[in-house]
Structure 1
């Protein structure tokens, strides 16, 4: 696929759409390698990833569902089950973390932006490989330090759910670029 086609075909493919085809470690490493080439100011390379597979990803779903049950103002059995199901349906989950430059030599938003660009590289690579991806950033990530260890200057920005899926990409037509540009 040409780069322009990959960009135009990138979609959020949700865990309910995934089939049970396993994702090889080689494919996950290809995604992570693509992430590692993201641009980064002062070469801080703030992206950090935790790959969850098998029982660990299922345990993540149980943890998040229970945390939702504990903290929700309005509990929903449907949402509780969906949180668990999403982790179970995913072929793998990559926790998207950012480790802040200890010198704080650049603004934090630049570290977050660099991490987001690393995720976009993974997402585009996943699209090229026929793999579905979905970046979820639930409020529950504030408690993720109870599930796995984060360094003092590290924070979790969400989860990239991954899975193979059947069928075509969901349709998407962005609003015209002309509505978003001002020529000066």
Structure 2
């Protein structure tokens, strides 16, 4: 698949089958992530492949995080809610948790370390799409909770940056839409053009 076609046709796909994703495909997705650019070649990414019952531990951690915000976690409605949260990681047969572990290189800015891992995530999403898989990048407040760092043994300076859910898609997805590039682009051809920016 042409790279520009892959970029334009990739979509977030949540509806996938229970069919396992082969190790061969998983390795290709992970390798694509490692080819992202990183300043000073720090390669600050860390990947955790969750398959099988390991997803249950993630679900239980998500439930613990949610439970902290509940007045009465033992109520029937909250118990149902927590059960649903525990089951969430089973929506896809494969989850790849992606973390940043900033290097100790004094020349590397923290923003650039995060940027490198975000680039790795995009590489992985595009690779999965090119391999015929469906998936999406899940984040949200629980992603950055201390309990999540504890689960994956992330350092104090590190952070989980998201969960990539992958599987074999159950349906085709519609074409996407984006704003016209002219709405988000400003061409600067002379020094004075900067004075006209609003």
Which one of 135, 138, 159 corresponds to residue 136 of structure 1? 138
Cα 1:72–1:6 change in 2 (3 A) is farther
Which one of 173, 179, 184 corresponds to residue 177 of structure 2? 173
- The reply to whether residue 85 of structure 1 matches residue 83 of structure 2 is no
| Alignment-derived partner of residue 195 in structure 2 | none
Structure 2 portions without partners, runs of 5+ = 189-198
Which one of 146, 155, 162 corresponds to residue 150 of structure 2? 146
| Alignment-derived partner of residue 62 in structure 1 | 60
Instruction: Number of aligned residue pairs: give it.
Output: 182
Note the alpha carbon deviations across 1:105-151, whole angstroms, 9 max, x for none.
22111111110111111110100111112111121122213323123
TM-score, normalised by the number of residues in structure 1: 0.89
Which residues of 2 match residues 33-112 of structure 1 at below 5 A?
33-72=31-70, 80-112=82-114
TM-score, normalised by the number of residues in structure 2: 0.83
- The reply to whether residue 183 of structure 1 matches residue 181 of structure 2 is no
Cα 1:73–1:10 change in 2 (3 A) is farther
Cα 1:27–1:73 change in 2 (3 A) is farther
CA distance in 2, matches of 1:40, 1:74: 45
Contact 2:139 2:162 in 1 (8 A): yes
| Alignment-derived partner of residue 193 in structure 2 | none
CA distance in 1, matches of 2:54, 2:34: 24
CA RMSD of aligned residues (A): 2.1
Note the alpha carbon deviations across 1:65-85, whole angstroms, 9 max, x for none.
232122258988576455333
Note the alpha carbon deviations across 1:40-94, whole angstroms, 9 max, x for none.
1110011111111111112211220232122258988576455333301211111
Structure 1 portions without partners, runs of 5+ = none
Cα 1:20–1:114 change in 2 (3 A) is same
Contact 2:56 2:86 in 1 (8 A): yes
